[in-house]
Every structure is written in structure tokens, then in C-alpha cells.
Amino acid sequence: MNTAVSTPAISTTAIADVPMHRLSIVVPMYNEVENVEPFVTAVHEALANYGFPWELLIVNDGSRDGTQQALDEQARLRGPHVRPIHLWRNFRQTAAMQAGIDAARGDVIVTLDGDLQNDPKDIPKLVARLLKDDMDLVAGWRQNRQDGLWLRKVPSRIANRLIRKVTQLEFQDLGCSLKAYRASVLKRVSLYGEMHRFIPAWMATVTSPARMAEEPVSHHARTRGESKYGISRTLRVVLDLLAVNFFLRFSGRPGHFFGGVGLGVGLVGMLILSYLAVLKMFGEQIGGRPLLWLGFFCVLGGLQFLTTGVLAELLIRIYYDRGDVAPYHTTRGPELAAESAWHQPS
């Protein structure tokens, strides 16, 4: 009884004077059968006195340990506001998060991990900051991380520093999954690869960085199950970061990138061939010089880069005109439930 009384007090304070909204909570899970029931319970306790309708979408990312059955059981016990989404196989965290975002119906979307390291009690605080300050994104900042140094903290610090350097966004903890978004803005961003770490960077292409902020949140040590991530994720972040840098700078004009490289390489080749042509005019033999081949291939490479730029311009126009293509497949489509499927405030 004491726990039930203290938790609503936190929620009630956080949602005071918050504009009317509907909240969708999106949680990717992969082989987290031990955490399913405790997590769903923690969310319900944290939002027991939440003054607005909310739904909980948990995306089973191809788990093979009974997570699917546990989620279906929780949906049956808790009601239709708990909406499991089952992916065909393990499409990884970003695709699972995109599946939940696509199915979310709320005006505000909150994402967090399902391993109970993120605290659901922080959800009302992030939502209140988002709506009261008229933000599009409020990201959690784990100031006191309860993780291992070498397998979690060090990779996270390296990734955050690289991301800040490339994106010029001064977020301290981009790896924290606990974030609150304005749904109308988030749904304009498509996620793939390992792009869930770069959501603030992608959102900066559709909204102002001034409409994004960080908020300190709690963090707990994992007590059940095993972490699915380690030092290897830093390498994937580096590769995706190259793609982020390209799209942030050249997404609407890829011809400028390839054309610039092509002109540079082609110019070097022309200078080399011009130099050799002058030597030839003075009677020197140039046929056996490696420099001749270098100049020839530089010119050829420059032409290839220029034609690649033209093709990229054509592809980017096809991309903007295409229909939506999801980076995942579900065993059954997430059905839109009736209004009664929202958890209504008491």
C-alpha cells in the first residue's frame, strides 16, 4: 500500500497544468521474458494516477525465449491498452522501435528499454517538460549510470563523443532510450540501421535544435536477463555515423558531394596529363611512365563520380516520391483499437 500511494504522488505533481494529450509508450524487447511482467507492472504503477489516456506498445523483436507468450498474457490480463507487436525475426532495436512508432496513436510518444534500467517513473516528468516548454524532443540523461565500465560506459562515451562531433548537437547521453517526442514531428523521421542513437540528429532536419532538450533521469542496474549490447556496437555506430553525416549535409543534394569529389579527382588527372603533354611536346618519352596511368585513371574516376552524382540526384527524387517502406515485418499487423483501448484516467 505504501508503494502504491507514493508513486501516484510523483505522477500527479509531474502532470499538473500539462495540456491535454494522449500518450503512447513504445518499448522494444528482445529475449526479455524475465522482465516482461515486472516491466508492465512498473509502468502501471508509475502511471497509476496519470491524468491522460495512455497505451503501452511492446515490440517483441523476434524473441525466442518465451517473450511473445509472456507479452500476450500481459495483454490479456491488463487490457487492450497493452498492445504487443511481434516481429517475424530479430530486426534489431532500431527497426523494432520504428514498428512501435508506426503503430503508436498518441500525440506524445515515449520510448524506453524494457530491461527496467530506465525507470518508468520518469515518464511523466519528461512528458511535462515536453509539453509545458513546447518542445519536440526531451531526451533522458543518465547522470549516474549503473552499468559496467568497459562493456557499456566506455562504448557509450566514445559513441556520444563521436556523435556530438559530427552532428554538432550538444546532447550528453544520446544512448539513453528514454525519450519523449512530439508524435507529429517524430513520425516525419524514418529509422533504420542503428539510427535510434541518432534520432536527435535526424529530428534536427525537420525541427529546430532549440526545440530539443535533455532531462536528468534515474538509471538502475540490470537485475534480470543479459545485456544484448557491448563494445562491438561502437563499430556499428561509427559506420552509421558516416551515413548520418552524409544525409545531414547532402540528403537533398547528393550530386554536390559526388560532383565535388569527381571534379577534384578529375582536375588532378587533367593536370597530370597536361604536364605529360608538355613533356611530350619537348620530345620526352611518356608512354612507360606510371604517372600517365595515374592521370588516365584520375580522369576516368572523376567522370565516374560525376555520373554517380547524377544518378544519386535521380535516386533521391525517387526516394522522396516513394511509398512508405517499413524496415520490419510483423506476424500480424498492429490493429488500431477502439477508443476504449486507451488506459483512461480514473
The pLDDT profile of the chain, 346 residues, written as one tens digit per residue, is: 333 333 334 444 455 688 899 999 999 999 999 999 999 999 999 999 999 999 999 999 999 989 999 999 999 999 999 999 999 999 888 889 999 999 999 999 999 999 888 999 999 999 999 999 999 999 998 877 755 555 555 666 666 677 677 666 777 777 788 999 999 999 988 887 667 777 888 888 788 888 999 999 988 877 776 765 545 555 666 677 777 777 777 766 777 788 888 899 999 999 999 999 998 888 888 888 889 999 999 999 999 988 988 887 777 667 656 655 566 667 655 455 556 678 888 6
Residues 94 and 145 in one domain: yes
Greatest CA span in the chain, whole angstroms? 99
Q: From 250, 274, 301, give the residue that closes a domain.
A: 250
pLDDT number for residue 87:
94
Please say whether the beta carbons of 97 and 91 come within 8 A: no
Residues 110 and 199 in one domain: yes
- The verdict on residue 189 lying in a domain is yes
Please say whether the beta carbons of 345 and 52 come within 8 A: yes
Task: Output 34-39 pairs: Cβ under 8 A, ≥24 positions apart.
Answer: 34/224, 34/225, 35/114, 35/115, 35/116, 35/224, 35/225, 36/67, 36/70, 36/71, 36/74, 36/114, 37/70, 37/74, 38/116, 38/224, 39/114, 39/115, 39/116, 39/120
Residues 268 and 158 in one domain: no
Residues 299 and 212 in one domain: no
- The verdict on residue 145 lying in a domain is yes
What is the Cα–Cα distance from 317 to 320, expressed in whole angstroms?
5
- The verdict on residue 45 lying in a domain is yes
Residues 218 and 265 in one domain: no
Q: How does strand 108-111 pair with strand 212-217?
A: unpaired
Please say whether the beta carbons of 85 and 57 come within 8 A: yes
pLDDT number for residue 321:
60
pLDDT number for residue 2:
37
Q: Model-level pTM greater than 0.95?
A: no
Residues 243 and 260 in one domain: no
Q: Write the CATH number for 115.
A: 3.90.550.10
Give one DSSP letter per residue of 264-285, joined into a string: HHHHHHHHHHHHHHHHHHTT--
- The verdict on residue 338 lying in a domain is no
E strands in the chain: 23-29, 54-60, 82-86, 108-111, 137-142, 179-182, 212-217
> Strand pairing partners for 181?
109, 137
pLDDT number for residue 182:
96
- The verdict on residue 174 lying in a domain is yes
Residues 228 and 268 in one domain: no
Which residues, in sequence order, are CB contacts of 272 under 8 Å at separation 6+?
Answer: 291, 292, 294, 295, 298
- The verdict on residue 235 lying in a domain is yes
pLDDT number for residue 225:
63
Q: From 250, 274, 302, give the residue that closes a domain.
A: 250
* Boundaries of domain holding 62: 2-250
pLDDT number for residue 110:
97
Residues 134 and 210 in one domain: yes
Name the one residue in this structure whose C-alpha cell is 500476450.
72
Residues 189 and 55 in one domain: yes
Residues 277 and 141 in one domain: no
Closest to 147 in 3D by CA, of 62, 233, 79: 233
pLDDT number for residue 271:
95
- The verdict on residue 238 lying in a domain is yes
Which residues, in sequence order, are CB contacts of 213 under 8 Å at separation 6+?
Answer: 129, 133, 135, 137, 138, 139
Helix-helix angle 232-250:154-167, to 10 degrees: 10
pLDDT number for residue 256:
77
pLDDT number for residue 287:
81
Which residues, in sequence order, are CB contacts of 294 under 8 Å at separation 6+?
Answer: 269, 272
E strands in 5-127: 23-29, 54-60, 82-86, 108-111
Angle, CA of 234, 240 and 242, to the nearest 5°? 110
Q: From 202, 220, 250, give the residue that closes a domain.
A: 250
Closest to 97 in 3D by CA, of 121, 114, 81: 114
Per DSSP, helices labelled H in 133-231 are 154-167, 183-186, 199-203
- The verdict on residue 327 lying in a domain is no
What is the Cα–Cα distance from 166 to 344, expressed in whole angstroms?
43
Closest to 228 in 3D by CA, of 331, 94, 110: 94
What is the residue type of 144?
A: N
Residues 272 and 194 in one domain: no
pLDDT number for residue 12:
45
What is the Cα–Cα distance from 36 to 99, expressed in whole angstroms?
18
Domain count, the chain: 2
Residues 206 and 317 in one domain: no
